Chains A and B, each alone.
Chain A
Amino acid sequence: MRQPLAYLKESPSQTAGPYVHIGLAPGAAGFSIFDQELGWDIAGPNAAGERIRIEGMVLDGTGAPVRDVLIEAWQANAAGIYPHPEDPRHTEVEDGFRGWGRTISDFETGLWGFETVKPGTVPGRNGTVQAPHISLWIVARGINLGLATRLYFSDEGEANAADPVLNLVEQTHRRDTLVAKREERDGQPLYRFDIRLQGDHETVFLDI
């Protein structure tokens, strides 16, 4: 008898298309429909930690900004805890901290950004410690399967040097493509993170 392996196949991905905003950011598409859109506040008002802004552009293989991109973010709080039942400390997360958010690029300039708190370190595999990072997921017209990457912070040099995921990037100079650069604007911390889909300085994408 032939033993059955009765698994289903995952539903195949398709592009989010140019009008992704209708479903996931209808206000940007040009109409108001839901009482509250989801994903515009990652940390909430009660979260501890340093308040930061992150900004960047997504650039295509010709260097042109991708102006119809949607980016989602997933992160731990400042104590390194995810608001999810599979994090053993999830009950300690501040009220209103979602850890998740979405943002879109400006239709004219391609600039996107979001406000949050800087995450803490989180446990890696086998007793390692992961440097502070935000997981990002990028969809747009022309992207057939959402692209996963991570954003690390330029002022965490020591933690970054020990990070088990960054250390898997064989070409060491490519690790820089995952590190957002700290700047200041009007006294507030700002991290700049450009994502290059293709070509020179192509961002490292992850098969998670």
Chain B
Amino acid sequence: MRKHDGEFFQRDRQWHPPAHAAQYKSSVARSPRFAALSIENTRSEITGPVFRPDDVAKIDRDLILNYAQDGEPVGERIIVHGRVLDEEARPVPNTLVEIWQANAGGRYRHRNDTYLAPIDPNFGGCGRTLTDAEGYYYFRTVKPGAYPWRNWENNWRPAHIHFSVFGTGWAQRLITQMYFEGDPLIPRCPIVSTIPDPEAIDMLTARLDMNASVPFDCLAYRFDIVLRGRRSTLFENRLEGN
């Protein structure tokens, strides 16, 4: 029987955005000039934090209710759901998925966000959940609005939800962003465009999922996340080199 507790597949750094992407201005001074040092996985990279059911509460995944004060937030009600898989399409169960987003008007509940669109008193903008045994997760929220940011003078982020995912080992740690199918701001965004391959961008674009929507209540979007796969241990490592 194949064991899947080996090392992780190498990350394809030509698929991910490069550290230095001149059109995304803040990457210019925040990108290393030297190449990263490649190391083979050790126990330090193969293991990673383990999360328990009592780390999160059920309501944490419902952004329509988890910060409601005297009513529900304004905006397009949606379910965002999908699976966390590895590169061999195997589910990643019991892993922590965290999200954060702006409200329907594109305003973040953050002390450093000064955009003139108002805060929604009933919307916090963050959620978290663990995937189930099949790697499945879901959230309920409102669709975030586009918002302007100080890059070029007239840059607007497409509607997006930030995702943070752990996986089973430290080397799988990933933060990314989910976009919405059909948004004309996607090809205009310098952050999206840090990703070189259009197919990779398509992978971050959630699809409208009518089958998962709730009639007369909310629409749904489907967003699957893929983490690094693990080598099956076909041969033991030879005792040479480090």
Interface residues of A (CB under 8 A from B): 6-24, 26, 29-31, 33-36, 38, 60-62, 64, 66, 68, 72, 74, 76, 82-87, 98-100, 107, 122-128, 130, 133, 135, 137, 139-148, 150, 164-165, 167-169, 197-199, 202-208
Task: Tell me if A's interface is mostly helix, strand, loop or mixed.
Answer: loop
A128 to chain B, nearest CB (A): 6
Whether a CB of chain A sits under 8 angstroms from the CB of B156 is: no
Interface residues of B (CB under 8 A from A): 5, 9, 11-13, 15-19, 21, 24-34, 36-51, 55, 57, 60, 66-67, 85-89, 96, 98-101, 108-113, 124-126, 128, 162, 164, 169-171, 173-177, 191-192, 194-195, 197, 199-201, 203-204, 225-229, 237, 239-242
The one of A36, A141, A147 that contacts B32, using a Cβ cutoff of 8 Å: A147
**For B12, what are the chain A residues with a Cβ–Cβ distance below 8 Å?**
9-10
> Which has the most chain A C-beta neighbours within 10 Å: B13, B227, B240, B242?
B242
**For B45, what are the chain A residues with a Cβ–Cβ distance below 8 Å?**
135, 208
A203's nearest neighbour on chain B, judged by CB, is: B32
- B173, A146: Cβ atoms under 8 Å? yes
The one of A8, A19, A66, A87 that contacts B47, using a Cβ cutoff of 8 Å: A87
Q: List 26 A-B contacts (CB under 8 A).
A: A8-B87, A8-B88, A12-B15, A12-B17, A12-B203, A18-B112, A21-B110, A22-B126, A23-B100, A23-B126, A26-B126, A33-B124, A60-B29, A61-B30, A86-B46, A86-B169, A127-B239, A128-B242, A135-B170, A142-B26, A142-B31, A143-B27, A144-B24, A145-B16, A146-B175, A208-B45
CA distance A205 to B112 in the complex (A): 29
- B34, A202: Cβ atoms under 8 Å? yes
- A34, B57: Cβ atoms under 8 Å? yes
**For B111, what are the chain A residues with a Cβ–Cβ distance below 8 Å?**
29-30, 107
Question: A86-B5, A122-B42, A207-B13 known; 14 other A-B pairs, CB under 8 Å?
Answer: A14-B177, A15-B24, A15-B194, A16-B164, A19-B112, A19-B113, A22-B124, A35-B57, A36-B55, A64-B29, A74-B49, A84-B47, A126-B241, A142-B30
* A-B pairs under 8 A by CB, number: 272
- B30, A60: Cβ atoms under 8 Å? yes
- B170, A208: Cβ atoms under 8 Å? yes
A17's nearest neighbour on chain B, judged by CB, is: B162
B240's nearest neighbour on chain A, judged by CB, is: A126
B194's nearest neighbour on chain A, judged by CB, is: A144
Contacts A30-B111, A207-B37; A10 near B24 (Cβ below 8 A): no
CA distance A17 to B226 in the complex (A): 21
**For B203, what are the chain A residues with a Cβ–Cβ distance below 8 Å?**
9, 11-12
CA distance A31 to B111 in the complex (A): 9
**For A84, what are the chain B residues with a Cβ–Cβ distance below 8 Å?**
47-50
**For A82, what are the chain B residues with a Cβ–Cβ distance below 8 Å?**
43-44, 47
**For A34, what are the chain B residues with a Cβ–Cβ distance below 8 Å?**
57, 60, 128
The 7 closest A-B CB pairs, nearest first, are A23-B100, A142-B26, A100-B49, A142-B30, A84-B47, A144-B17, A207-B36
B204 to chain A, nearest CB (A): 6
**For A72, what are the chain B residues with a Cβ–Cβ distance below 8 Å?**
173
